[in-house]
Structure 1
Amino acid sequence: MKLWQYISYFWYIAINWNIKIAWFIVKNEWNGEKKYGIQTIGYDELNHLALADVDINHASIYMPVDYTLLEIGLNHLQL
């Protein structure tokens, strides 16, 4: 259920950073997914890799780049 993914992602960010950042990121994620017609919401804590005997001591979680930041970066490229 996509709504649950947004709620879960919001609380993950709010707990690890703060509510203002969580609101900003989830709002931009919602708008970016709607604008580009793709789904990138979520995060991956990589715990499943530890179960497969992969050393995750120096790994960090996967989180998609914020659409606002991505658009700013792409607009600075001179193509």
Structure 2
Amino acid sequence: MTQLKEPEGFMLIAEVYKILKKYGECVNYYEKYILNLEKIDEKLDEEGKRICGFLEEYFRKVCDLDKSKKYGEMK
């Protein structure tokens, strides 16, 4: 069973917010997912790269170019 503080839990919560079109909240949980993967030294799989692409595009659209560049380099 997935716990909410595990990376997969953050991803599941983010997906729910994405479906509800609450992108600000979605991005918060996607970032927690990526940061938790970095903490446990897991490499990004296809899902992680897809999420980094989503984060890059989101931050580019809200004009946060530093974060957009950061996630663009991760994918």
When you count helix as a share of all residues, which structure comes out higher? 2
| TM-score of the two chains, using structure 2 as the length reference | 0.30
| TM-score of the two chains, using structure 1 as the length reference | 0.29
Q: Whose Rg is larger?
A: 1
